[in-house]
Amino acid sequence: MIHAKETSNSQGITGDRPDPFIRNDQFNFIKGQTDILVNGKATSSDAEVLSVLRHLSQEKVFDLFPSLSEEQKAVLQPLTAVKEPADAENFLGQLVAYVVPFQNVTDQHLKKLFPKAKKLKGPKLDTFDFRKLSYLGWIESSTLMYLVIERDGRLDGVHGSFNRSAKYGICSICNRHSEVGLFTARTKGSGQDNFIKRGNYICQDSATCNSNIDTLEYLHKFVDLLQ
């Protein structure tokens, strides 16, 4: 059920304001579509081409959400009016109010997620903007990395060793080219005392990674690999 509040947009039109419904990865995807529209306007003056581009962008964004209410559609509709960088900035600025923050994490949550990490310090949680997170990641003792994800309403955690690379590469979480490092974790093999090391390259900076994520597909695949 959508809980709504009455509000008015920049044109002074009064309507119902839906609760936050956009995840960080979806916000980043929408941001990518605004970039496409701005670049399209800068490189083409063909009205028909630009109209098709706007239609495709709206279709892709609407497809991110299984069931949109009319109020939610109204929040996303201004995407089609984006032409200049200022339009994109204004649209995204208004969209921030509808971003669902990452689930609240406390030090007690972290202790339960990583019970074997006796010397766990944890990150400074008050320094994070949880609206900009698809996962919570931090490094301790230079070579230990911890990741917390939210899936099906539950928090899940993985940790392992992290070795920075001097080269750029494709991150297994955001699927973008960035400064990466090799994350490896020990997982149980087929035997009782048999352990296997599994891992892949991911961003060195989790904030950069979170700003790049426009789908949760790769994040979930990466965590599944480690478990």
Give the mean model confidence (pLDDT) for residues 9-22.
66
Q: In the chain, how many domains are there? A: 2
Task: State which of 98, 125, 156 marks the end of a domain.
Answer: 98
What is the per-residue pLDDT for 190?
A: 55
Q: Both 114 and 209 in a single domain?
A: yes
CATH number at residue 64: 1.20.1280.250
Instruction: Select the more confidently predicted residue: 195 or 203.
Output: 203
Whole domain around residue 51: which residue ranges? 5-98
Q: Both 52 and 75 in a single domain?
A: yes
pLDDT above 80: residue 222: yes
Q: Both 47 and 115 in a single domain?
A: no
pLDDT above 80: residue 6: no
What is the per-residue pLDDT for 119?
A: 85
| Mean residue pLDDT across the chain | 90
Query: For residues 65 and 27, what is the distance between their CA atoms, to the nearest angstrom?
Result: 12
pLDDT above 70: residue 177: yes
Specify whether the CB–CB gap between 204 and 223 falls below 8 A: no
Give the mean model confidence (pLDDT) for residues 4-15.
42
Task: State which of 52, 81, 98 marks the end of a domain.
Answer: 98
Task: State which of 98, 131, 149 marks the end of a domain.
Answer: 98
Write out pLDDT tens, residues 58-71. Answer: 999 999 999 999 99
In percent, how much of the chain has pLDDT > 70?
90
Give the mean model confidence (pLDDT) for residues 34-63.
96
Q: Both 151 and 125 in a single domain?
A: yes
What is the per-residue pLDDT for 187?
A: 76
Q: Both 68 and 86 in a single domain?
A: yes
Query: For residues 24 and 186, what is the distance between their CA atoms, to the nearest angstrom?
Result: 29
What is the per-residue pLDDT for 9?
A: 47
Q: Both 112 and 92 in a single domain?
A: no
Q: Both 134 and 157 in a single domain?
A: yes
Q: Both 93 and 112 in a single domain?
A: no
Q: Both 111 and 220 in a single domain?
A: yes
Write out 159-214 in H/E/C secondary structure.
EEEEEEEEEEEECCCCCCEEEEEEEEEEEECCCCCCEEEEEEEEECCHHHHHHHCC
For the ranges 14-18, 183-187, 198-202, the lowest mean pLDDT is seen at 14-18
Write out pLDDT tens, residues 95-139. Answer: 999 999 999 999 999 999 999 888 899 999 999 999 999 999 999
What is the per-residue pLDDT for 74?
A: 96
Give the mean model confidence (pLDDT) for residues 131-155.
94
For the ranges 3-12, 110-119, 127-136, 180-189, the lowest mean pLDDT is seen at 3-12
pLDDT above 80: residue 180: yes
Q: Both 60 and 119 in a single domain?
A: no
Q: Both 94 and 143 in a single domain?
A: no
And the tokens for 34? 């605004």
Q: Both 86 and 183 in a single domain?
A: no
Return all residues near 103 (Cβ < 8 A) that are at least 6 apart.
150, 153, 155
